[in-house]
Amino acid sequence: MTTFCDSGEQIEDFIDEFLVECPRCSKLCKVLLESTIQAREEFSLRLFRRRRAVCLNCGYSASWDGRTLKQYLDGHDWYFGLSLWLRTPCCGEVLWAFNVRHLDFLEGYVSATNRQQVPNINKSLASRLPDWIKSAKNRSEIVKCIQALRKRLPSGN
């Protein structure tokens, strides 16, 4: 039996890097913070830090330094609105992750047969996951989809 312990991570804890599809060549592109930040920096400061989209293949680049987010567009990054690289149809829905850490989180949650929630953390990502991801009947299909997403990653990730 594997156990997942909800430690209160929120979706915002995974926004330092988005793996997206390049709008020019359709290969892997990264949306990153332009400057190094403190790990414990206040979320509101981190949310509006300058971002840069950089393609690992064709050299496409773009900067975001505005104040308008495309936040909560499922399957897209919050800054440029680009399609996430880690997304796939799954259980009649779309399974997506911002980056490898987010994918690891989802895999840990889904594959666990025992899920422990920290009391009074209603804002945690685990508590906000859609029912189809939480459902034990979808576990094996979701794990297969996560494995398929991992195959899309460059070697070394």
Q: Compute, in degrees rounded to 10, the torsion defined by CA atoms 38, 39, 40, 41.
A: 50
- Indicate the pLDDT class of residue 73, thresholds 50, 70 and 90: low
Residue boundaries of the structural domains of the chain: 3-151
pTM score, whole prediction:
0.89
pLDDT digit string, tens, across residues 126-150? 999 999 999 999 999 999 999 999 9
- CB neighbour class for 29 (10 Å; exposed up to 12, middle 13-18, buried from 19): buried
For 32, phi and psi rounded to 5 degrees? -125, 160
